Amino acid sequence: MATHGHAHASVTGAARRPVRLNLFAHACGHHSAAWRAPGSSVERLADITYWEELARIAERGRLDAVFLADGQSIGTAGVERGPAWMLEPLTALTAMARATERVGLVTTVSSTFWDPFHAARLLASLDHISRGRAGVNVVTSMTDEEARNHSMTALPGHAQRYATAGEFLEVLQGLWESWPMESILAEPDGAYVDPALLRPPLHRGEAFAVDGPLNVPTPPQGRPVLFQAGASEPGRALAARHAEGIYAVAWDLASARTYRGDIRSRAAALGRDPDALAVMPGLVPYVASTEEEARRRKAELDARLPVQDSLRQLSFFVGQDTSDWELDAPVPPLPPLEEFTGPKGRYATVLRILETARPTVRELLGLLAAGGGHATVIGTPERVADEIERWVDAGAADGFNLMPPTLPGGIEEFVDQVVPVLQRRGRFRCEYEGTTLRDHLGLPRPPQEIPAPTGS
């Protein structure tokens, strides 16, 4: 096996940046029909050993992190179509943390529906329990169905959700700094904590009022690594200001490069180092020893897809009823991005696919079946590694958020076949360099000022 890994990459200069790789663990895999395949993991979704196994495979491949998405409703419109949610992610990731030693653990928290004190506390606790491997993807949520599970009648508007998300992140950061470990004196004949070193944020904002301090001390990483997935204008602004990692949606290299360039410019304009921000588009890999075999596996999964369900998913993506669209006719014209009020990233992808490929409705359904419009690569391990390198070297990505069509099979194949190719090429670590998720991503620990005594 190759042993040059990370060291080799730095010798050959900035153009050959190390690749970031996350596993996006979801249900039986990201293909909508994955759970229908014989031998799928559908019976194990409420069994924590399934999720622990996925985390162990990711760690075996030296991946940066395992990421869990989240939603705040069962998704009644889609619940017939296949599994989405089962275990709650913070508890699942806590168990996954104790089943592994190094791999990062990234959860998703909705700033629209979470109280920031609870969120800060659970996340800080996960960072302590995992000894510095926690990350959090802050989302603003998408449906009225979710709002109606949280004593709201409808989802707040897009602008308000993003304003709240910004405030939510400020409160979280203030809380994570509010009880520094240095304040714990634990002197047998003196005080347990020096209260002068506590830094209660005393936050008073539009959405939240939080005195603090948090009742969990500052987490090992200073704060969990902050992820974002925003594609809209306020989403990009929020990501440029706060995110350290971005789970982007990009159908092709050109749109990924445009997106990454925009985010980096915005971050730089805010005085941030753009290299401390990893842009990781989703990637759906179909890997097999021959391209023909990889295509055959994809076709097999596609064939299990009920067309009516796919049309229903498409209705959600494009924000209109598509159930009477003619399958073998071209996709009807869609309104421009500015007029769309749902999640922008995926809609932009649909528009991009229409513009570049002019598919029939049936062809579009096939392209959206796994991952809903994320980049898809089909082929041998070498071909998949080539594509990963090509995107990274073109400045279109810092790495990828892997969305295997099936799980655990799809991530096992990637880890056992694609990762060794990237390692041989010096593009991916052979061993973890450090112990925390910040170490893996080469991110600095947030600055820890010496706190001024209270009252000064």
Would you count residue 99 as binding a copy of itself (CB under 8 A)?
Answer: yes
CB of 126 to a copy of itself, least distance (A): 6
CB of 291 to a copy of itself, least distance (A): 27
Q: Which residues of 313-350 are buried (b: 16+ CB within 10 A; e: fewer)?
A: bbebbbeeebeebeeeeebeeeeeeeebeebbbbbbbb
> Considering only residues 210-229, where is the footprint of a copy of itself by CB under 8 A?
210-217
Which tokens sit at 208? 């939240």
What part of residues 133-192 is at the interface with a copy of itself (CB under 8 A)? 145, 148-153, 179, 186, 188-189, 191-192
How many residues belong to the site for a copy of itself (CB under 8 A)? 75
Residue from 441, 304, 306, 280 nearest 375 by CA: 280
| Rounded distance between C-alpha atoms, residue 189 and residue 14, angstroms | 54
Stretch that binds a copy of itself, among 70-78, 263-271, 285-293, 373-381 (CB under 8 A): 70-78
Please, where are the H alpha helices in 243-343?
253-269, 291-303, 307-318
Which amino acid appears at position 378 of this protein?
I
291 binds a copy of itself (CB under 8 A): no
Residue whose structure tokens are 């990781």: 280
Binding to a copy of itself by residue 83, rule CB under 8 A? yes
- What's the min distance (Å) between Cβ of 31 and a copy of itself? 14
Decide if residue 316 touches a copy of itself (CB under 8 A): no
Choices 200-208, 310-318, 370-378, 414-422 (CB under 8 A): range interacting with a copy of itself: 200-208
| Selection from 400, 391, 331, 397 nearest residue 30 by Cα | 400
Answer yes or no whether residue 456 interacts with a copy of itself by CB under 8 A: no
The pair of structure tokens assigned to 179 is 């009880």
Nearer to a copy of itself, 121 or 424 (CB): 121
Point out which residues pair with 104 in neighbouring strands.
65
Kindly state whether residue 282 participates in binding a copy of itself, applying the rule CB under 8 A.
no
Residue 52 vs 389, nearer CB to a copy of itself: 52
Distance between CA atoms of 149 and 139, rounded to whole angstroms?
17
- Region of residue 235 (left: phi > 0; alpha: psi -120 to 50; beta: else): alpha
Q: Please choose, out of 60-68, 201-209, 224-232, 395-403, the segment that lies near a copy of itself by the rule CB under 8 A.
A: 201-209
Instruction: Work out how close the CB of 301 gets to a copy of itself at its nearest, in angstroms, rounded to a whole number.
Output: 12
Q: Interacting stretch for a copy of itself, rule CB under 8 A, among 37-45, 59-67, 288-296, 433-441?
A: 37-45
Tell whether residue 304 is a contact of a copy of itself (CB under 8 A): yes
**Closer residue to a copy of itself (CB): 5 or 212:** 212
Instruction: Using CB under 8 A, pick the residue from 60, 208, 272, 363 that binds a copy of itself.
Output: 208
- Choosing from 54, 68, 124, 407, the residue that interacts with a copy of itself (CB under 8 A) is 124
Render 392-431 in DSSP notation, one character per residue: HHTTS-SEEEE--SSTTHHHHHIIIIIHHHHHHTT-S-SS
DSSP symbols for 441-455: HTPPPPP-PPPPPTT
The span from the CA of 130 to the CA of 55, in Å, is 13
Cα(167)–Cα(102) distance, rounded to whole angstroms? 31
Say whether residue 390 binds a copy of itself (CB under 8 A).
no
Q: Does 74 bind a copy of itself (CB under 8 A)?
A: yes
Per rule CB under 8 A, is residue 61 in the interface with a copy of itself? no
What's the min distance (Å) between Cβ of 303 and a copy of itself? 11
Q: Can you tell me the distance from the alpha carbon of 280 to that of 263, in angstroms, rounded to the nearest whole number?
A: 12
Confirm or reject binding of residue 362 to a copy of itself (CB under 8 A). Answer: no
